[in-house]
Amino acid sequence: MDLTWLEDFLALAEQSNFSRAAEARHVSQPAFSRRIRALEDWVGTPLFVRGTQGASLTRAGLHFRPLAEDLMRNLHRARRETRSAGERETGSLAIAATHALSFTFFPGWIRRHMQVEALGTLNLISDSMEACEQIMLGGEVHFLLCHAHADAPTRFDGSRFESIRAGEDLLVPVCAPDADGEPLWPLPGTSGRPSRLLAYSSASGLGRILAAHPVGSTEAGHLESAFTSHLAATLMTMAREGHGVAWLPLGLAEEDLARQRLVRAGPDRFDIPVEIRLFRSPDCRNHAADELWRRILEQESGRD
C-alpha cells in the first residue's frame, strides 16, 4: 500500500470531486482515479460512490476516513519526533518560502538576522504557497516565509501558529511597453479591448491575494485571463514578452521596471500593499529555531 493513496483518499473525501482533488494533489485526473481505485482494491471494498454530482463516501469510506486521518497524523508525528531528535544534535534549521521570496527577499533577510554559519545546516524549501502550507501543517519545517494580506487568510490557526511581520512588499500591475514606452496592455482595459491577464494559479498565495482584492476583479479592470502559472517569475517573463499584464511583487519586478523592460500598466490605485510574514511551527522545534525566533523578536522590538 502506497502512503500517497491515503493522502489521495483524504483529499477526495474533503473535495468530493475527482478533478478538484486531483488538482489539489498536483496529479492528472486519470492518474488520481487509478490511485483511488488501487486503494479500494487494497482495502477490498469501494470507498466512494461515483456520480454525476461528484464522489461521496460509502459506509466503508466513512468508517475508513477517521482511521486514515489518525494513521497520517501518527506517521507525521513519528517523522517529526525522529527528525527533531536528530536536529537537536545537528542544529539544523528548515525554512519554507514561496518562490518569489526565495529569490528576492530571503537571502538579505536571513543575513540581517543571523550569520548563516551560526545556524548550523540551513535547509531552504522553495515552493508554491499551497505546498508550503502543507509541509508547515505537517510539521516538516520550522518556519514559513510568505506574502500575506488580511483579505486572503492562510490555513494557519492563529492560536497555534505564531507569526511576525518580516517586511513589506507591493503587488504592482506591469506589462511590456509599446514603441512609445506606454503600457502595451493598459489598465483599466475597455469592453472593446480588455487587457490580457497573466494570472496566478490557485496554488499561489499571490493568486489568493489578487483574487480577494477588488482590483483583481476581471470585471472592474476589463481583464480577460490569457495565461496561468503559480510562479511569479514565469508571469514576469510572459509580461516582458508582451503577452499581457501581471501583478508582480515590486521586489521581483523593480529591476525590469528600472531598465524599462516592463512598465506600470495602470495608476497607483491598482497597486496592492502586502506584508511579508514569518510563521513559526508549533510542532517542529529545536534550539536553532528557538534562537532564530528570539533574535528576530529582539531585532523587531528594537525597531519599534
- The pLDDT tens digits of the residues spanning 145-179 come to 999 999 888 889 888 999 999 999 999 999 999 99
125 and 179 inside one domain? yes
Task: Answer yes or no: is pLDDT of 254 > 90.
Answer: yes
175 and 132 inside one domain? yes
Range in 41-50, 95-104, 219-228 with the lowest mean pLDDT: 219-228
- Neighbour count for residue 254 (Cβ, 10 Å): 15
Torsions phi, psi for 180 (to 5 deg): -95, 5
Percent of the chain with pLDDT over 70: 91
pTM: 0.67
Cell of 50: 461515483
Of these ranges, 41-55, 221-235, 284-298, the one predicted with the greatest mean pLDDT is 41-55
32 and 119 inside one domain? no
The 10 Å CB-count burial string (b at 16+, else e) for 147-186 is bbbeebebebeeeebebeebbebbbbbbbbbeeeeebbbb
96 and 57 inside one domain? no
Range in 56-70, 79-93, 148-162, 198-212 with the lowest mean pLDDT: 79-93
Return the pLDDT at 299. Answer: 74
289 and 181 inside one domain? yes
Does the residue 74 lie in any domain? yes
Classify the C-alpha dihedral 166-105-149-221 as positive or negative. Answer: positive
The H or E element that residue 93 is part of is: strand 93-98
Can you give the CATH number for the domain in which 282 is found? Answer: 3.40.190.290
Return the pLDDT at 218. Answer: 54
Task: Answer yes or no: is pLDDT of 81 > 90.
Answer: no
Q: Which residue has the higher pLDDT, 296 or 233?
A: 233
Return the pLDDT at 290. Answer: 86
Cell of 44: 477490498
Task: Answer yes or no: is pLDDT of 1 > 80.
Answer: no
Return the pLDDT at 198. Answer: 94
pLDDT band at 12 (very low <50, low <70, confident <90, very high): very high
Return the pLDDT at 63. Answer: 95
Does the residue 87 lie in any domain? no
259 and 114 inside one domain? yes
153 and 53 inside one domain? no
Return the pLDDT at 221. Answer: 58
Task: Answer yes or no: is pLDDT of 2 > 90.
Answer: no
Instruction: Render 176-209 in DSSP notation, one character per residue.
Output: -B-TTSSBSS-SS--SSSPEEEEEEPTT-HHHHH
Under 8 Å CB-to-CB from 118, ≥6 apart: which residues?
none
* Total structural domains within the chain: 2
Does the residue 46 lie in any domain? yes
Compute the average pLDDT of residues 264-273.
93
153 and 122 inside one domain? yes
230 and 110 inside one domain? yes
Return the pLDDT at 298. Answer: 81
Q: Angle at CA 235, nearest 5°, toward 172 and 218?
A: 60
208 and 155 inside one domain? yes
Does the residue 83 lie in any domain? no
Does the residue 85 lie in any domain? no
Can you give the CATH number for the domain in which 8 is found? Answer: 1.10.10.10
237 and 299 inside one domain? yes
- The pLDDT tens digits of the residues spanning 96-144 come to 999 999 989 998 888 887 655 555 678 899 999 999 999 999 888 999 9
- Of 250, 275, 273, the closest CA to residue 146 belongs to 275
Can you give the residue range of the structural domain that contains 16?
A: 3-78
- Tell me the Ramachandran region of residue 139: left when phi exceeds 0, alpha when psi lies from -120 to 50, beta otherwise: left
pLDDT band at 37 (very low <50, low <70, confident <90, very high): very high
Question: How far is Cα 183 from Cα 171, in angstroms, rounded to an integer?
Answer: 17
Cell of 180: 512609445
Does the residue 84 lie in any domain? no
Average pLDDT, the chain: 87
Compute the average pLDDT of residues 176-190.
91
Q: In the listed set 43, 78, 113, which residue is the last one of a domain according to the structure?
A: 78
Q: In the listed set 78, 109, 141, which residue is the last one of a domain according to the structure?
A: 78
Compute the average pLDDT of residues 251-262.
94
Return the pLDDT at 172. Answer: 96
123 and 181 inside one domain? yes
Under 8 Å CB-to-CB from 141, ≥6 apart: which residues?
94, 95, 96, 125, 135, 281, 284
Return the pLDDT at 114. Answer: 67
Q: Which residue has the higher pLDDT, 189 or 264?
A: 264
Does the residue 122 lie in any domain? yes
Does the residue 270 lie in any domain? yes
Largest pairwise CA distance in the chain:
68
Classify the C-alpha dihedral 154-158-161-167 as positive or negative. Answer: positive
Return the pLDDT at 226. Answer: 86
CA distance to 85, 149, 171, 229, 246, per residue, from 210 (Å):
41, 10, 9, 13, 10
Task: Answer yes or no: is pLDDT of 282 > 70.
Answer: yes
